[in-house]
Structure 1
Amino acid sequence: MRPIRLVLPVTALLLCALAAPAAAAAPTASGDWTAAPASGGGTRPSSDGRPYFYLEGPPGTVLQDTVSLSNPSGAPLTLRLRGAAAYNATDGGFAVRRTPDPWIALAAPEVKIPPHTRADVPFAVTVPPGAQPGDHPAALVAEAGGREVGVRLQLRVSGPTLSALTVESLRVDKAHGLIRYALVNRGNTTLAPRLALRVDGVFGRALDRPAKALPVELLPGQRVELSEPWAHPPALDRVTVRLDVTADGGAHATAGTSAAFVPWGAVAGAALVVLGGAAAALRLVRRRRRRAGEPVEMPLPERELAQTGARQ
């Protein structure tokens, strides 16, 4: 599925359309329309500028919020809306499903906004009675003219939470100068993992990177493929690679693997030199024996020919 660029998380239901002030800016392209959480909504109300929607409640409840859609252009705008569950793309990016999320109900799936106008659209999230506790990330997606904008919705179902992860498929990719691995979120909360990397070899420590935040938000139940660059590995060594990954809530995982670095080109060249030297030494020994009158072993056909000539 094609990931959709998400500006912010969202959930909404249609409320009203408000005319813009008379001193509005000059008309702009219709692609300048925006979607954002309306002020004062959600489970944790706040002033303007909410970065995303946050809703929390127990199973069986209905939660409500509002999304604001602005049309600063001088032409009417029609926006199509849908709620969608979120997931991690293979590389860790935040993406949303193409199919509507059945938990999210919009007041209107399509909204017509006059020029220089903002429309506030309410929406509701119905948490099923049997919903599992923890985070259920989603987004409210607005689309017009081939452009899609997603506003993130952080939904948490009340109940026990567990932060847990594992590191899998750790390997050294020598051809591309990378250390590859996979992270899997085994808990029910969204994780912001931190990674520490260490590589020890026979000749000492080859790499030591302290813990750093990874550019990924790992959603519950998701697996992502990641890598760390290793531009200058040793030419000759056997190393042990160790990854330590941590996240808030006590999540911690480690993994290790080993790899051997051998300069096969140089080894092959040295072997050819040794073989060439051995062959030259053998030829030299044979020449010296001939000069000293020592018998030189000949192939069988030549021996037989020499014996025949002696009888004659």
Structure 2
Amino acid sequence: MHPRDAPIHRTPPRGRARLAALVAAILLGLVGVAGTPAALADGEPDPATRWAVTPADESGRDGRSSLQHALDPGESLTEHIAVHNLGDRQETFRLSAADGFTTATGRFDMLASEEKSTDAGTWIDIAPEVTVDAGESVVVPLTITVPQQAEPGDHPAGVAASVLSTRSAGEDTSLGVESRVGVKVTTRVTGELAPAVGVGDVSATYDGSWNPFRPGEVTATFEVTNEGNARLSIAGTAAAGTGAAVFPAEGEQLGELLPGDAREVSVVIDGAWPAFRLPGRVHVAPEVAVLDGTSAELDAAEATFGVWALPLPQLLVLVALMLMAGAAIGGRRRSRRRLDALLDQAREEGRRSAGPTAPPARMPHRRPAPGGETGGEE
């Protein structure tokens, strides 16, 4: 049966408590919604229009956060999403599918309705709209059909339920606004996975501390490109001089890198002591996303860099120490010269106080007498 002709399953009314629990779970983001409606303004959806979209099976929401499958070229698969009307009136939602992509911040999104899809977004067939009563959920089937010529690897797409409205843009002018909530759809076409990653040139800056006894930090910025055909999770290490860091940092989310995507990554490297010119290295070792048990090994990529790190505080301390040492040595030399001058003065005063020196007394000379006897004085 064609998906547009397939029956749409309407979830029967539940108990009030169960419905309240479902609404609370959706509002808390536990249902894997890919986005939220745009901020409300004049002409945008009424505040009472609230909805969510989740992966589902034929009976309703099934707890998955996205739709992921590995399919052969030419293979088809029927999937389901559930559209939940969280408002207090009946709503008709437009349904659409489009190619997926990641933003510069790593968030997943899908092409706007006026943009033309050329890849996995064209593989999805879904009904054009669905009407959902207030507080109810409707399960909508969709079919994913992989073309025979599809290339192996990961192909991202998204399906969304949207509401159209108008916004005033000045005198006699209005703009159409589409507010969408969707689900991520990833199709891995079977065949040879060839993951590859590239690292661009690294630009780095050094931020030193004016405390000479504390190291500074290096900020290294570089671009990582997914040059293969499989989704990657970015991870690695960076070093500069005596500093080192891992990325992503704790609590940081870099998001997946889809095939063909490029993402700028900045890493702060602490503990780098300034030494005029610091050598640096970036080591990128991403992981290949596992899908239906299929994954592949991936070689790491590296890039080297250098950054100037002038040890100005340390040089100032060294100059101050040299000046202090020079002053101490000069002081010792001056003190010794004064001491030597005082000693010379004391010797000179001692000689003057002793007066003229008398010549030594002459001893009488005795001549020996004949026969060995000593004669008298001459």
Instruction: Provide the TM-score with structure 1 as the length reference.
Output: 0.69
In the alignment, is the contact (CA less than 8 A) between 2:218 and 2:240 conserved in 1? no
Aligned to 2:56: 38
Q: Deviations over 1:51-82 (max 9, x none)?
A: 21122211112222010011133201121121
Please give the secondary structure, in 2, of the residue aligned with 1:102.
helix
In the alignment, is the contact (CA less than 8 A) between 1:180 and 1:226 conserved in 2? yes
The range that moved more, 28-37 or 64-73, is 28-37
Aligned counterpart in structure 2 of residue 94 of structure 1, from 101, 105, 108 = 108
Please give the secondary structure, in 2, of the residue aligned with 1:91.
coil
Aligned to 1:52: 66
**Cα distance in 2 for residues equivalent to 1:193 and 1:224:** 10
Aligned-residue CA RMSD in angstroms? 3.3
Aligned to 1:250: 297
Q: Deviations over 1:243-267 (max 9, x none)?
A: 1111233321111111212378999
The code of the aligned residue for 1:208 comes to A
**Cα distance in 1 for residues equivalent to 2:7 and 2:283:** 47
Q: Deviations over 1:108-155 (max 9, x none)?
A: 222111112111111112211110001101111222265322211121
Answer yes or no: is 1:21 the counterpart of 2:14: yes
Aligned counterpart in structure 2 of residue 198 of structure 1, from 212, 219, 239 = 239
**Cα distance in 2 for residues equivalent to 1:233 and 1:198:** 9
Answer yes or no: is 1:126 the counterpart of 2:137: no
* Offset at residue 181 of structure 1 (A): 0.4
Aligned counterpart in structure 1 of residue 245 of structure 2, from 203, 206, 209 = 209
The code of the aligned residue for 2:66 comes to Y
- Alpha-carbon distance change, 102 to 211 in structure 1, aligned in 2, over 3 angstroms: closer
**Cα distance in 1 for residues equivalent to 2:297 and 2:155:** 20
Instruction: Provide the TM-score with structure 2 as the length reference.
Output: 0.58
The percentage of counterpart residues that share the same residue type is 25
Task: State how 1:1-312 maps to structure 2 within 5 Å.
Answer: 15-23=8-16, 30-39=48-57, 48-98=62-112, 99=115, 100=117, 101-106=121-126, 108-144=127-163, 146-174=178-206, 178-200=219-241, 205=242, 207-210=243-246, 212=248, 215-230=254-269, 234-248=273-287, 249-251=296-298, 252-262=300-310
Structure 1 unaligned residues grouped into runs of 5+: 1-10, 271-312
In the alignment, is the contact (CA less than 8 A) between 1:197 and 1:209 conserved in 2? yes
The code of the aligned residue for 1:103 comes to W
The code of the aligned residue for 2:203 comes to R
In the alignment, is the contact (CA less than 8 A) between 1:31 and 1:147 conserved in 2? no
**Cα distance in 1 for residues equivalent to 2:49 and 2:260:** 35
- Alpha-carbon distance change, 91 to 117 in structure 1, aligned in 2, over 3 angstroms: closer
Structure 2 unaligned residues grouped into runs of 5+: 25-46, 166-177, 208-216, 288-295, 320-378
**Cα distance in 1 for residues equivalent to 2:14 and 2:109:** 36
Q: Deviations over 1:211-260 (max 9, x none)?
A: 65762211111111111124775555211111111123332111111121
The code of the aligned residue for 2:179 comes to R
- Alpha-carbon distance change, 261 to 14 in structure 1, aligned in 2, over 3 angstroms: farther
Q: Deviations over 1:157-184 (max 9, x none)?
A: 1111122101112111458963100011
In the alignment, is the contact (CA less than 8 A) between 1:165 and 1:185 conserved in 2? yes
Q: Deviations over 1:270-302 (max 9, x none)?
A: 9xxxxxxxxxxxxxxxxxxxxxxxxxxxxxxxx
Larger Rg: 2
The range that moved more, 21-30 or 75-84, is 21-30
The range that moved more, 15-24 or 117-126, is 15-24
**Cα distance in 2 for residues equivalent to 1:256 and 1:133:** 33
In the alignment, is the contact (CA less than 8 A) between 1:83 and 1:141 conserved in 2? yes
In the alignment, is the contact (CA less than 8 A) between 1:199 and 1:239 conserved in 2? yes
**Higher RCO (CA-CA < 8 Å; seq separation 6+):** 1
Aligned to 2:34: none
- Alpha-carbon distance change, 30 to 56 in structure 1, aligned in 2, over 3 angstroms: farther
The range that moved more, 89-98 or 54-63, is 89-98
- Alpha-carbon distance change, 237 to 93 in structure 1, aligned in 2, over 3 angstroms: farther
